[in-house]
Amino acid sequence: MANIFDYMQWRDILLTKTEFNEIDNLILARFSYFPLDEKIISNTEKITIKESYKRYETNRNNCKSFTKRRC
């Protein structure tokens, strides 16, 4: 069964080409809870949501105990 992360990888259509839908809204809501501190993105850096998610996943995978502490 697919999840929102599968959808993010599958749905590479620009919002200018299709309407913003409920799943897109769910993804943005979920994304707001990701711990995107300076280890992932600096305050002055501009990157895409896709790139910030990749960095988040890389950082999370590098942590031994992500659920117990921030890396």
pLDDT along the chain (71 residues), means of 10: 77 80 86 75 81 80 57 56
Q: pLDDT over 70 for what percent of the chain? A: 86
- Say which residues have a Cβ less than 8 Å from residue 62's Cβ, sequence separation at least 6: 71
DSSP 1-29: ---HHHHHHH----TTTS---HHHHHHHH
So what's the pLDDT on residue 71? Answer: 56
Average pLDDT, the chain: 76
Q: If 0-12 CB within 10 Å is exposed, 13-18 middle and 19+ buried, where does residue 34 land?
A: middle
23 and 49 in a single domain? The answer is no
22 and 45 in a single domain? The answer is no
Task: Tell me which residue range forms the domain holding 58.
Answer: 37-71
22 and 47 in a single domain? The answer is no
Alpha carbons 64 and 62: distance in angstroms, whole number: 7
So what's the pLDDT on residue 66? Answer: 47
